[in-house]
Chains A and B, each alone.
Chain A
Amino acid sequence: MGNDVKPTYTLDERGEVCPVPDVDTRRKLKEMKSGEILEVLIDYALSKERIPAGVKEVGGEVISIEEIGPSEWRILIKKL
C-alpha cells in the first residue's frame, strides 16, 4: 500500500532536531490543496508516532507508513 501513490511534494526530515519534522509537516499540509499527497522522510521513531496524531488537526490523513531502512520511515499523507 502506498507504493503506487505519487507524492505531490516531498519533505526530507532525516537528521532534523525534534520537533522540526512535525512542524514542517504541519506547515506544508496547511498550504496544500485537497487531494494532494505529501511524502515525509523521517529517521526518528517518536516522529513516526506523533506525526499521524498531529496532521489530523490540519486536515491531513496518513495513508501509509513504510520502513525504508534502519530507523528510517517514509510517511505518505493525503490532504483531505
Chain B
Amino acid sequence: MDPRLQGLLVGILFGIVLQRGRICFNSAIRDVKMTKDNYLMKMALVAILVETIGFHLAAQLGWIKLNPLPLVPLAQIIGGFLFGMGMVLAGGCASGITYRIGEGYITAFVAAVFFGVTASAVRGGPLSFVNSWMGKPITTTDNPGGLYAAKDGAVNLTIANMLNINPWIVAIIFAIILFIVVIAWKTTERKVSGLDWITGGIALGLVGIIAYVSQKTYALGITGGWVNLFRTTTANLDLTKPIPYNWIGMEIVGIIVGAYIASLFAKEFRLRVPKDPKTFVQVAIGGILMGFGAGSAGGCNIGHILSGLPHLAISSIIFTVFAVLGNWFMVWYLFERR
C-alpha cells in the first residue's frame, strides 16, 4: 500500500482516538499542577507504557529499527520551554490543536497555521539559521542489541546505548516504574462521555505501534507533518521539481478527518468562535512559540513525549522536562498569579 495512504489511514485512527479520548497533553500537564487532576496524565502514561514494550518488541522482531530523535541539548532545553509556554497560549498541544480543527474550533485552526508556518521556517526555511546556534547532535557508536537505526555508524543517544546495555533492561525498568505509578496514583474522579483513561491510553499506545510499523522511520508525529503539508503545498512552485507529500503529512490530514467523523457521530461537532477577538492574537502567538520550539527541538509533544519517551531517548527526556516547566510557568503567569 502507498505510504501516503497508510499515513492517512493511521491518521484517521489517531484522530478518532484523540477525539474520543479528549487527549490533550497541554491539559494533561497543566491539570496535574493547576487542579490536581491526573486523569489525562494517567491516560498518557498508559500509552507510553504500551509503546515502550511495543516499540522494543517491534524492533526485536526486526519489523523496525528504533530511531530516537537527535540530541541537541540546547535545542531541546530552549525549544522545549518555548513549546511548553506556547501550548498554554494556543489552548492545546500540537496534536490538540490539530484534532480540534476537526471538531470545529476556529482558534485551533489559527494556532495550527501559525505553528506549521513557523516550524517550516525553522526547518529548512528562512529561520533555519537558528539551528546553528543550538549546536550539532551528540551521538554514539554503541548500538547494543543492534536495535537502533545507525547513520554512518552514528546512533542517537538513549539511556541504553549511552550505558551500552541491552535496551530491554532499560525498557523493562521504565515500564515497571510506569506501571507502579499508574496503579498507585489515585485517579481523579471524572464522569467521562468518551474513552476512560485505561481504554484511551491503550488505544493511543496501539495506534503509536501501528504508526511505527507502517511509517518505519518513526512512530507518530505532528510537527513534521505540518511542515510537509506547508512545504509541499506552497514552497516549491516549480512543478518540475515537486516536493512530494509524505506519510506524516497525510497523517495530519487523517487526524483532522478522523476527529471530524468522531465528533459528528458523537454530536460534538460545532463551529466554535471566541467572543473576544484578542483570543486570535493569543493563539497565534502560542502557535508561533510552539512552531519555533518544536521546529528547533526536533519534535513536539507527540514526536518527543508520546513517541520519544518510549525510546528512552535523551533528547526526548530533556524536551519533556522543559516542556512541562514551560507549561507550568505560563499556567502560573496566566491563571495563577492573582
Residue ranges of A at the interface with B (Cβ–Cβ < 8 Å):
12, 14-20, 22-23, 26, 43-46, 48-50, 52-54, 57, 70-72
Contact = CB atoms under 8 A, between A and B. Distances in A.
Given A17-B282, A45-B194, A52-B191, 19 more contacts: A14-B272, A16-B274, A17-B90, A17-B91, A19-B27, A19-B34, A23-B34, A43-B272, A44-B272, A45-B22, A45-B266, A45-B268, A49-B190, A50-B31, A53-B35, A53-B37, A53-B188, A71-B268, A71-B269
B193 interface: yes
A70 to B, nearest CB: 6
17 contacts: A12-B275, A17-B274, A17-B282, A18-B27, A19-B335, A23-B34, A26-B35, A43-B272, A45-B194, A46-B22, A46-B27, A53-B189, A54-B35, A57-B36, A71-B267, A71-B270, A72-B270
Interface SS majority for chain B: loop
B24 A18 contact: yes
Q: Which among A14, A46, A54 has the greatest number of chain B C-beta atoms within 10 A?
A: A46
A57 B193 contact: no
How extensive is the interface on chain B, given as a class? 35 or more
Nearest to A69: B270
B270 A70 contact: yes
Those 6 A-B pairs whose CB atoms lie nearest each other, nearest first: A17-B91, A71-B270, A15-B274, A46-B22, A54-B35, A15-B272
B91 A53 contact: no
A28 B96 CA distance: 27
Interface string B184-221: 00001111111000000000000000000000000000
B279 interface: yes
Contacts of A17: 90-92, 107, 274, 279, 282-283
B73 to A, nearest CB: 31
Contacts of B188: 53
A18 B91 contact: yes
Nearest to B106: A15
Nearest to B334: A23
Contacts of A52: 191
A26 B36 CA distance: 14
Contact of A15 (B192, B268, B273): B273
Contacts of A12: 275
B65 interface: no
B289 to A, nearest CB: 15
Contacts of A70: 267, 270
B30 interface: yes
B140 to A, nearest CB: 40
Contacts of B316: none
Contact of B35 (A15, A22, A43): A22
Contacts of B269: 71
A14 B106 CA distance: 13
Nearest to B194: A45
A20 B276 CA distance: 12
B76 interface: no
A44 B194 CA distance: 12
B26 interface: yes
Nearest to B23: A46
B278 to A, nearest CB: 11
Q: Which among A43, A45, A54 has the greatest number of chain B C-beta atoms within 10 A?
A: A45
A44 B263 CA distance: 11
A49 B193 contact: yes
